[in-house]
A and B are shown apart, each in its own frame.
Chain A
Amino acid sequence: MKMEAMSLSGLDNTKLEALAHDIYSDLVEDACLGLCFEVHRAVKQGYFFLDETDQDSMKDFEIVDQPGVDIFGQVYNQWKNKECVCPNCSRSIAASRFAPHLEKCLGMGRNSSRIANRRIASSNNMSKSESDQEDNDDINDNDWSYGSEKKAKKRKSDKVFLRSLKQPVLLNPNSPRRSKSLKHKNGELNNNVNTDPYKYNYNSGISYETLGPEELRSLLTTQCGVISEHTKKMCTRSLRCPQHTDEQRRTVRVFLPGPSASTLPDVDAVVESDGYDVSDGQALMNRLQWDGSSDISPSDSASSKASTNNSDSKKPKKKKKPSLGLSSSGTGGTGGGTGGGPGTAGSGSSSQGVLSLPSRKKKPKLPAPPTPSIYDDMN
């Protein structure tokens, strides 16, 4: 042991170093040898020179080392500065943004429909949330529309400006746009107030004056619609919104000419008539009485079935309020008020119709008696 210690102490740093160095050299030599064997085998097996076959092609694909160019010789942002002219809107768009712009511009592609749907949904919600300031507290309760309301709020500021621009257009109930959308909506089951993404019928808070009959109707079939005293706007919350009672909703639907079905669960279904404005004392009738009438049945056949009870009471009222241009697709609960302008049944009401179908069968005759009384009240 002592000898060990002595010999250990005899080993100073340099010696240790030298030893380590020797070990290291051995290892390096082993590595070299390994490489030699590898190369030799490659040569004898014939695969050593495989990666250098053709001088010409080697020159073609040589690595490029110039500034502004990648190693393949391609310029990186060659198309960045180029601008293309959009064939749809005739704007000049940057090349890298051209494809998404086109997608939105043409309204095709997955995203565009999603955006359009969202806009529509949020326009519904916006009118709800805007109509009553007090509602904001309860917004969190409204699970269905919370998400879209959030989005709607964000975009509200954007859209407010647009809305002010667009309002003049919307005010005209007989504008060609409106009738167009009417035609398209025939027979359609839609909860959408507006399927045209460019129309920007996106009201934060809907004032009933600006709405055409068609839209009012469809609005009322899907939304609460109660008119707030503060803002004179219709509540855009769901049909079962806790802020307003059914009575209020009924009142609104009576007040505004020819609105759609009420929210009452026992509401009878609304009969759809296809955008025939007109006459529709009979059309109104159809909505009121939906004995055996399907959602999409033509108003004519429905009217033939409908009783004539309400037609007389309705007609005078129609004349009274032509401006409102709402058609009543009233059911027992609401009793559509006067069918002031075109009395088109809200196609949106069809959804109502579907919902109340079962109740329909249960209480077919109920609508008739109550409605006249309501009219009396209004009168």
Chain B
Amino acid sequence: MSKDLQMRAAINQKLIEMGERERLKELLRAKLIECGWKDQLKAHCKDVIKEKGLEHVTVEDLVAEITPKGRGIHRSNLKILVPVLVVHHSYMVSGCVEASLLQQINYYDNIITLLQLSSFISDPH
């Protein structure tokens, strides 16, 4: 477990250093806006705010309400596609944002080197 965590951390760090994380982030943002995810979430925000009262909304409230929904929306999008697209790396269809991002990440050559690195880090195990 910790190995995985370490690996994850290492990968993340590597991504940041290379600037790829920023690129992926921007890409994701653009795709989310395109598919309307952002507007949906914003509407949800409005509801939350109206519910809680305009004056007393805090960031934490919003985060707590929104984040699971944000990821959940995607899950629902994904669920339809996952059985179809599955594990195969070579799916061409990336109608779903997540799928396209995953594709991006998966095809990312450097991930191999990252993994190499991380495994090297976790080598002593």
Question: Which A positions have Cβ atoms within 8 angstroms of B?
Answer: 3-4, 7-8, 11, 13-14, 16-17, 19-37, 39-40, 43, 48-49
Contact = CB atoms under 8 A, between A and B. Distances in A.
Given A11-B115, A20-B111, A40-B59, A3 B106 contact: no
Interface in B1-49: 7-8, 11-12, 15, 21, 24-25, 28-29, 32, 38, 41-42, 45-46, 49
A36 to B, nearest CB: 4
A34 B106 CA distance: 24
- Give chain B's interface secondary structure class: helix
Contacts of B62: 36, 39-40
A24 B101 contact: yes
A3 to B, nearest CB: 4
B124 to A, nearest CB: 8
Interface residues of B, number: 43
Contacts of A13: 87, 89
Given A35-B42, A39-B42, A8 B67 contact: no
A31 B32 contact: yes
Contacts of A3: 119-120, 123
B106 A4 contact: no
Given A4-B123, A24-B98, A36-B62, A43 B54 contact: yes
B28 A28 contact: yes
A17 B59 contact: no
B98 A37 contact: no
Contacts of B25: 27, 30-31
Interface of B: 7-8, 11-12, 15, 21, 24-25, 28-29, 32, 38, 41-42, 45-46, 49, 54, 57-59, 62-63, 66-67, 70-71, 74, 87, 89, 98, 101-102, 105-106, 111-112, 115-116, 119-120, 122-123
A43 B66 CA distance: 15
B71 A23 contact: no
A191 B42 CA distance: 75
Nearest to A25: B71
B70 A43 contact: no
A28 B32 CA distance: 9
A262 B25 CA distance: 86
A20 B21 CA distance: 12
A40 B58 contact: yes
28 contacts: A3-B123, A4-B123, A7-B119, A8-B112, A8-B119, A11-B115, A19-B11, A20-B106, A22-B8, A23-B15, A23-B105, A24-B102, A27-B101, A28-B70, A30-B25, A31-B28, A31-B32, A32-B63, A32-B70, A36-B45, A36-B63, A36-B66, A36-B67, A39-B45, A40-B57, A48-B46, A48-B49, A49-B46
Query: Which among A14, A21, A39 has the highest number of chain B CB atoms within 10 Å?
Result: A39
B42 A19 contact: no
Nearest to B69: A32
Contact of A32 (B58, B66, B105): B66
A13 B112 CA distance: 12
A26 B12 contact: yes
Contacts of A36: 45, 59, 62-63, 66-67
B71 A29 contact: yes
Contact of B8 (A7, A19, A28, A37): A19
Contacts of B21: 27
Query: Which among A19, A21, A35, A40 has the highest number of chain B CB atoms within 10 Å?
Result: A35
Contacts of B42: 35, 39
Contacts of B120: 3-4
Please give me the 5 A-B residue pairs with the lowest Cβ-Cβ distance, nearest first. A7-B119, A32-B70, A20-B105, A36-B62, A3-B123
A23 B28 contact: no
Contact of B12 (A7, A23, A29): A23
A24 B85 CA distance: 16
A8 B71 CA distance: 30
Contact of B38 (A21, A33, A35): A35
A217 B120 CA distance: 106
B47 to A, nearest CB: 12
A18 B106 CA distance: 10
B106 A32 contact: no
Given A8-B112, A13-B87, A27-B24, 9 more contacts: A3-B119, A3-B123, A17-B106, A23-B24, A30-B25, A32-B71, A34-B29, A36-B62, A39-B49
Nearest to A20: B105
A15 to B, nearest CB: 9
Contacts of A34: 29
